[in-house]
């Protein structure tokens, strides 16, 4: 069995990775350090997990100790639903980079394919307890990565390749079980 997947641009993503979702504060730093020590190179993060800063501390410690080199790691993060509007994407990405203490991500994904009302709440609710959607429709959400980032900002951000994204969207929405099949 191969230890990695080859992505559309030739980059190799390790199949086995450490997920940081639900990692308790105060423990995720140690978990990332131990995982790196035993050979994990793929670390899955997200702003909504509330622990990217601690993950970043662990990554930086292991880089400083020369346990791994940055180019040996495959760091993934995700754009949260309250940041789907075009004007919010760059700031959200840069916040993730700052929290992780990194210059680039290996893959930046849209966490969920629906936007929520922008604001401080991760799950903004109306008076009935329902999540308030954003005014950004599914096509705008998919195109959310069409923002201005210079090559200096994000030279190796794989999730930014527009041609691949469009192909993936067409493939997804053409499937009979895709939830927005009829709308598209």
Query: What's the pLDDT tens digit per position in 84-133?
Result: 888 888 899 999 999 999 999 998 888 888 889 999 999 999 999 999 99
pTM tops 0.85: no
Alpha-carbon distance 56 to 61, whole Å? 9
CATH 3.40.50.920 fits domain 4-173: no
- Dump the DSSP string for 107-154: EEEESSSS-B--SS-SS-B-TTSPBPBPS--HHHHHGGG-S---TTT-
Residues 6 or more apart from 136 whose CB is under 8 A from it?
84, 85, 115, 144
Q: What is the pLDDT of residue 99?
A: 97
Q: Would you name the residues annotated as active-site residues? A: 49
Q: What is the pLDDT of residue 87?
A: 84
Q: What is the pLDDT of residue 167?
A: 37
Point out the residues of the chain with pLDDT beneath 70.
1-2, 138, 140-184
What number of CA atoms fall less than 13 Å from residue 170's CA on the CB side? 6
Q: What is the pLDDT of residue 69?
A: 96
Residue the block writes with tokens 């639903």 = 81
Alpha-carbon distance 142 to 162, whole Å? 10
Residues 6 or more apart from 94 whose CB is under 8 A from it?
153
Residue the block writes with tokens 């994204």 = 165
Count of Cβ atoms closer than 10 Å to residue 118 Cβ: 18
Q: What is the pLDDT of residue 26?
A: 86
User: Is the separation of the CB atoms in 28 and 55 below 8 Å?
Assistant: yes
């Amino acid at each position: 069995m191969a230890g990695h997947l080859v992505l559309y641009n030739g980059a190799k993503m390790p199949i086995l990775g450490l997920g940081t979702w639900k990692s308790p504060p105060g423990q995720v730093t140690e978990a990332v350090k131990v995982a790196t020590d035993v050979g994990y190179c793929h670390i899955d993060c997200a702003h909504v997990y509330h622990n990217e800063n601690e993950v970043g501390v662990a990554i930086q410690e292991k880089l400083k100790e020369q346990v791994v080199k940055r180019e040996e790691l495959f760091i993934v993060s995700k754009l949260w639903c309250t940041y789907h509007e075009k004007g919010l994407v760059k700031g959200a990405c840069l916040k993730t980079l700052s929290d992780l203490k990194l210059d680039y991500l290996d893959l930046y994904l849209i966490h969920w394919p629906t936007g929520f009302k922008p604001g401080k709440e991760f799950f903004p609710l109306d008076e009935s307890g329902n999540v308030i959607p954003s005014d950004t429709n599914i096509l705008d959400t998919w195109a959310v990565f069409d923002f201005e980032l210079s090559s200096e900002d994000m030279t190796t951000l794989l999730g930014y390749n527009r041609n691949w994204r469009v192909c993936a969207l067409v493939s997804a929405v053409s499937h009979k079980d895709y939830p927005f099949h009829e709308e598209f």
